[in-house]
Amino acid sequence: MKRETPIEEGLELQPIRPVYLVSSEHNGKKNIISVGMFAYFSGKPTLVGIGIAPSRFSYGLIHKSKAYVVNVVDEELMEAVKICGENSGRDVDKFDLAKLTAIPASRVSAPLIEESPLNIECKVVQDVEVGDHVWFIGEVLATHVRKGYGWKDGLLLKWVHEDTCMEEGLYYKVGEKVGIY
């Protein structure tokens, strides 16, 4: 038997909700934003997307520079996710605050986060306003992976909304193998 839930509640029960750190740079100003809205859009060309609310400082940087880097997070970066999701680059330097290191990317102007095990360089090819977010569709131009990193080391985040959205976040690592395809 099923019950109809309030929409928010139903969506919160989705099992897999990854989070990423997205870095950007424009006119010498670097920033990092925590992002849950990430998706694959195309295989050839390889297109991914991130949903960024126009109120975010990162929005302007990505809109103007037409580039971003999706940085995968692991357990070591949990605190950085919190810092980059609760502070704005308008007020603070998040590389300093989260003790992260910006290193040059090979194909785009946005920096890589050195401490991330996997960086995905993207050039914006399209931006699409969808409701209260803008989806920056990015062509993946390069990826960089830390030696020894395996996808199981990646961290998933499931957050619980309660009254104050993101504040009740719970972190999970990926689980066990249950089948083949």
Ligand X SMILES: Cc1cc2nc3c(=O)[nH]c(=O)nc-3n(C[C@H](O)[C@H](O)[C@H](O)COP(=O)(O)O)c2cc1C
Binding site for ligand X (CB under 6 A): 19, 31, 33-37, 51-53, 56-58, 85-90, 133, 157, 159, 166, 169
**CA atoms in the 13 A half-sphere facing the CB of 26:** 14
User: Which residue's CB is nearer to ligand X, number 51 or number 153?
Assistant: 51
**CA–CA distance, 35 with 50 (Å, rounded to integer):** 7
The least distance separating ligand X from the CB of residue 81, rounded to whole angstroms, comes to: 6
**CA–CA distance, 79 with 47 (Å, rounded to integer):** 29
Q: Where are the alpha helices (DSSP H) in the chain?
A: 7-12, 57-65, 78-86, 94-97
Nearest CA among 11, 85, 97, 6 for reference residue 53: 85
Contact between residue 49 and residue 62 where contact means Cβ atoms under 8 Å apart: no
User: Which residue's CB is nearer to ligand X, number 14 or number 148?
Assistant: 14
The least distance separating ligand X from the CB of residue 4, rounded to whole angstroms, comes to: 27
Residue nearest to ligand X (CB): 85
User: Which residue's CB is nearer to ligand X, number 90 or number 152?
Assistant: 90
The least distance separating ligand X from the CB of residue 113, rounded to whole angstroms, comes to: 14
User: Which residue's CB is nearer to ligand X, number 119 or number 136?
Assistant: 136
